[in-house]
């Protein structure tokens, strides 16, 4: 897996450009950086600050278990909505014959996210730092990111891409979050998983692959397992149709109307979700 060095890679000629600092180098932070810098002529420089994971991986794509798969098909996971085949071509260049209908490993997608930044590091507009941002200080026109190592990164804009909040480790070692690294339980012991969604499936896969033979109990309010992905045809939705910046209630109402439109055309709500996904 290729890695991008988390170090100062900025060049002097880029120092005068408007500056965006992105707090968090998971998928959201990397996608934003890739879109901001995609055009070589864009007069902008970007600093990505990430303290925990390899760039692009974050919590979701840092897993090393090959049994942990994406919950979305290859065809719907391109980094660029105007180039829906981008991810599949990247897979093909690695010798992976996955089709657009396949579900590939999440670690593979993390490698894809990391590779998005590789061509952007050459001209000095991208800087990646291994650090944790402990606070942001704003003035009328600027913002400064204060890091845990004492550095201060001034910028014109700051974006929070910090992802999911993770629970503190259980001091007894008996309770673990879904994404925490933990020693496997006794092979014959009972494991209780709170929730019966896709994260439960991932945990069960990991337990079984490590030779667990005890009972695995999944608890949830409705006791339903994840459903099989149905085939569908994403609605064609333009950016102008999306109520960007609207209150969550308005966006929810818009999505419900979108689902009704999909069903009126003979499809399902999935077509609405897949149509809105790139935006």
* Domain shared by 220 and 113, yes or no: no
Q: What is the pLDDT of residue 11?
A: 52
Q: 257: helix, coil or strand?
A: helix
| Residue 63 in tokens | 């897993």
The number of distinct structural domains making up the chain is 3
Match 């949830």 to its residue by tokens. Answer: 220
DSSP state at residue 74: G
Check residues 186 and 5 and name the one with the higher pLDDT.
Answer: 186
Q: Is residue 81 part of a domain?
A: no
Tens of pLDDT, residues 186-216:
888 999 999 999 999 999 999 999 899 999 9
- What whole-number distance in Å separates Cα of residue 159 and Cα of residue 121? 19
Given its phi and psi angles, is residue 3 left (phi above 0), alpha (psi -120 to 50 degrees) or beta? Answer: beta
Most confident by average pLDDT, 4-13, 175-184, 260-269, 270-279: 260-269
Q: What is the pLDDT of residue 170?
A: 87
Check residues 229 and 256 and name the one with the higher pLDDT.
Answer: 256
* Domain shared by 28 and 122, yes or no: yes
Q: What is the pLDDT of residue 109?
A: 95
* Domain shared by 150 and 190, yes or no: no
What percent of the chain is helix, strand and coil (3-state, nearest 5)? 30, 15, 55
* Domain shared by 204 and 116, yes or no: no
- List of residues 6+ apart from 139 with CB closer than 8 A: none
Q: 84: helix, coil or strand?
A: coil
Tens of pLDDT, residues 107-161:
999 999 999 988 887 788 999 999 999 999 998 889 999 999 999 999 999 999 9
Q: What is the pLDDT of residue 157?
A: 96
Q: 7: helix, coil or strand?
A: coil
* Domain shared by 156 and 54, yes or no: yes
* Domain shared by 206 and 258, yes or no: no
The domain that holds 42 is classified in CATH as: 3.50.50.60
Q: Is residue 89 part of a domain?
A: no
* Domain shared by 224 and 244, yes or no: no
* Domain shared by 48 and 139, yes or no: yes
- List of residues 6+ apart from 201 with CB closer than 8 A: 225, 226
* Domain shared by 25 and 65, yes or no: yes
Q: What is the pLDDT of residue 6?
A: 42
Q: Is residue 86 part of a domain?
A: no
Q: What is the pLDDT of residue 15?
A: 67
Q: State the average pLDDT over residues 230-252.
A: 91
Neighbours of 114 (CB within 10 A): 20
- List of residues 6+ apart from 117 with CB closer than 8 A: 4, 30, 33, 34, 48, 55, 56, 126, 128
* Domain shared by 114 and 196, yes or no: no
* Domain shared by 116 and 206, yes or no: no
DSSP state at residue 39: S
* Residue range of the domain that includes 201: 168-229
Tens of pLDDT, residues 70-104:
988 998 899 998 898 999 999 999 999 999 999 99
Q: Could you give the dihedral angle defined by the CA atoms of residues 192, 195, 197 and 199, in that order, rounded to the nearest 10 degrees?
A: -60
**pTM, 2 dp:** 0.83
Q: State the average pLDDT over residues 50-77.
A: 87
* Domain shared by 111 and 136, yes or no: yes
| CB-count exposure of residue 31 (10 Å: 0-12, 13-18, 19+) | middle
Tens of pLDDT, residues 164-187:
777 788 888 889 888 777 778 888
């Amino acid at each position: 897996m290729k890695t991008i060095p988390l170090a100062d890679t900025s060049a002097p000629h880029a120092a005068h450009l408007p500056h965006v600092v992105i707090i968090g180098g998971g998928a959201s932070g990397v996608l934003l950086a890739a879109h901001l810098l995609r055009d070589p002529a864009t007069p902008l420089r970007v600093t990505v600050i990430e303290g925990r994971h390899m760039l692009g991986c974050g919590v979701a794509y840092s897993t090393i278990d090959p049994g942990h798969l994406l919950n979305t098909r290859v065809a719907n996971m391109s980094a660029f909505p105007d180039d829906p085949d981008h991810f599949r071509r990247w897979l093909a260049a690695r010798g992976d014959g996955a089709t657009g209908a396949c579900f590939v490993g999440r670690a593979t997608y993390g490698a894809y996210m990391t590779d998005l930044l590789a061509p952007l590091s050459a001209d000095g507009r991208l800087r990646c730092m291994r650090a944790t941002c402990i606070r942001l200080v704003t003035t009328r026109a600027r913002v400064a990111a204060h890091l845990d190592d004492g550095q201060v990164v001034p910028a014109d804009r700051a974006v929070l891409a910090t992802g999911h909040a993770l629970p503190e480790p259980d001091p007894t070692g008996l309770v673990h979050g879904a994404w925490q690294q933990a020693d496997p339980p006794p092979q014959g012991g009972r494991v209780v998983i709170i929730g019966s969604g896709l994260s439960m499936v991932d945990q069960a896969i990991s337990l079984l692959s490590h030779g667990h033979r005890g009972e695995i109990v999944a608890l949830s309010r409705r006791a339903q397992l994840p459903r099989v992905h149905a085939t569908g045809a994403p609605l064609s939705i333009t950016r102008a149709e999306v109520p960007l910046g609207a209150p969550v209630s308005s966006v929810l109402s818009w999505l419900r109307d979108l689902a009704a439109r999909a069903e009126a055309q003979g499809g399902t709500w999935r077509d609405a979700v897949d149509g809105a996904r790139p935006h």
